[in-house]
Chains A and B, each alone.
Chain A
Amino acid sequence: MESLTNKKKVLEQKPMTLLERMYLPAIVKGMSITFMHMFRKKETVFYPEVQREFSENWRGMHSLKRDEQGRERCTACGLCALSCPAEAITMISAERKKGEEHLYREEKYAAVYEINMLRCIFCGLCEEACPKEAIYLDGPIVPADYLRKDFIYGKDKLVEKTIEGVNA
């Protein structure tokens, strides 16, 4: 049968010559290559002191954003929880009281917002689903811990720190 592409290549396997069967020239060649590597530039990044830059589309720990006046953007619509394929997000919504306008941007807000970091697969669907631009996966690597309960991150860990001078 005629081949459809010309990509097929039949390798010719010649019997090895005596010099090749001795392996020694090949070993010497290989050893010279490894020896030259001793003088190459080292690729090591000295981690705790030097940290590599994350890439542009890096997805790390979640952060719940505030707007320019320092108010929480999240309105507890639940779209992030709905979109989450790992079902890692839960929340309890609450109504904004009078006098809390400087804390929450919308009339409804998330009183409790929890992400189980052991379930999260860092797919980024929550940040795509969010209509209020309230959640982004722009944090660092989620650190290790000892207990399962410590991996359920609440608002204390997720919400962006208040901007100085804008909010109390």
Chain B
Amino acid sequence: MKLAIVIDGYYFLEKFGLITVIFALSLVVAMYSTLAERKIAGFLQDRVGPNRAGWGGMLQPLADGVKMFLKEEIIPAESSKFLFIVGPSLAILTACIGSAVIPWGDTIVLFGRTVDLQVTDINVGVLYIFGVVSLGVYGIMIGGWASNNKYSLMGAIRAASQNISYEIAMGLSIIALLMMTGSLSLRDITNQQHGFWHEGWFSWNFFSQPLGFLIFLVCAFAETNRTPFDLPECETELVGGYHTEYSSMKLGFYLFSEYINMFVSSAVMSTLYFGGYNYPGMDWVMEHAGPTWGPLVGVAALLGKIFFFIFFFMWVRWTVPRFRYDQLMNLGWKVLIPLAIANIVATGLWMTVKATYF
């Protein structure tokens, strides 16, 4: 099927366009996540949040960006300068490339051409995501190490051990899902969740893997260094954590990469467990809206799910207090990993029973 794709000039053009659009989208979403975070924090605390720059504070991210760029750029004299610059660059790079394998929508007919709304449909999409996520910790590690500051180093060590611990549980939680889907391609996984209802049960993976989703969700919080697992930048103990020594846009990159990570992990969660661009009654819409507008509704559905998850990230941040470090490790190693393994066993048993008796 892959070989059937005609590679011509337009193919490169449409991929280039798609990459540009997704890149811009993730940056804009990350930008406005910073505003949304402050707004939601305000609402949850009976305040109004930033509301001076532009209508209702809509220009606040621009003001923040300009401020970040205009700040003095300080590189500590005792730091290793090359790694000090590599750190934030790596953080934002790994945050941005994660979105490459996410299917943003069904195949769409644009100007008479059938366009795949996915940058690349590699058959190890899930593994790619995991690889990129594992790389993400290097940005933090290198930055914290290069700062030559004990607080930065402590933050970096925390980030590294936390991410490695939770990656195991995350990987195990996804195995149960992969046993059911039988594919690592995110496109295949999404297509299997077509619509909302299939043969007497919900077709979205969440409804067959609720425990797996819960483990994945908790691990996603830990991987993106969000509260309640934001120990790497725990200001009461570590000043600023791994970005203590950073200033100007290098600090901006670190903060920004956190929001892009949030966006990408929301997209992954929506794709794996909540049907991606599928939504109830999509067949009817596809029939009536045509091959151009129908998939776009799917894209909107996916974005809606992503925005809900981003909101969820922020909602949790302003509700749940931060874990202590030993509690974090206990949760990761003694609770989530056994639970994930139990989930694999239970899924395997259920699949065998289903295959034998039904």
Q: A residues within 8 Å of B by Cβ?
A: 27, 30-31, 33-35, 37-38, 40-44
Contact = CB atoms under 8 A, between A and B. Distances in A.
A34 B314 CA distance: 11
Contacts of A44: 46-48
Interface string B258-289: 00000000000000000000000000000000
Given A42-B48, A44-B48, A27 B43 contact: no
B293 interface: no
A40 B43 CA distance: 8
A35 B46 contact: no
B227 to A, nearest CB: 12
A31 B319 contact: yes
Contact of A42 (B40, B47, B316): B47
6 contacts: A31-B319, A33-B319, A37-B43, A38-B44, A40-B46, A43-B46
A40 B186 CA distance: 41
Contacts of B48: 42, 44
Interface of B is mostly: loop
Contacts, number: 32
A27 B46 CA distance: 20
B196 interface: no
Contacts of B316: 31
A30 B43 contact: no
Nearest to A22: B335
A34 B43 CA distance: 9
A35 B319 CA distance: 9
B245 to A, nearest CB: 30
B315 interface: yes
B320 interface: yes
Contacts of A33: 319
Contacts of A30: 319-320
Contacts of B43: 37-38
Given A43-B47, A44-B48, 18 more contacts: A27-B319, A30-B319, A30-B320, A31-B315, A31-B316, A34-B44, A34-B318, A34-B319, A35-B44, A37-B44, A37-B45, A37-B46, A38-B40, A38-B43, A41-B46, A42-B46, A42-B47, A42-B48
Nearest to B316: A31
B315 A34 contact: yes
B60 to A, nearest CB: 16
Interface string B304-333: 000000000001101110000000000000
Nearest to A30: B319
Interface string B33-54: 0000000100111111000000
Contacts of A42: 46-48
A44 B45 CA distance: 10
A133 to B, nearest CB: 42
Nearest to B214: A24
Contacts of B318: 34
| Most A-side CB within 10 Å, residue of B44, B47, B48, B316 | B44
A104 to B, nearest CB: 48
A38 to B, nearest CB: 4
A33 B44 CA distance: 9
Interface in B108-152: none
B338 to A, nearest CB: 14
Nearest to A37: B44
A34 B41 CA distance: 10
A121 B310 CA distance: 47
Interface in B38-79: 40, 43-48
Interface string B340-352: 0000000000000
| Most B-side CB within 10 Å, residue of A33, A41, A42, A43 | A42
Interface string B183-201: 0000000000000000000
A35 B40 CA distance: 10
Contacts of B46: 37, 40-44
A27 B47 contact: no
A27 B44 contact: no
A102 B315 CA distance: 67
Q: 7 tightest A-B contacts by CB?
A: A38-B43, A34-B319, A44-B48, A34-B44, A43-B46, A31-B319, A30-B319
Nearest to A35: B315
B29 to A, nearest CB: 21
A41 B47 CA distance: 9
Contacts of A34: 44, 315, 318-319
A27 B315 CA distance: 11
Nearest to B45: A37
A19 to B, nearest CB: 14
A30 B44 CA distance: 12
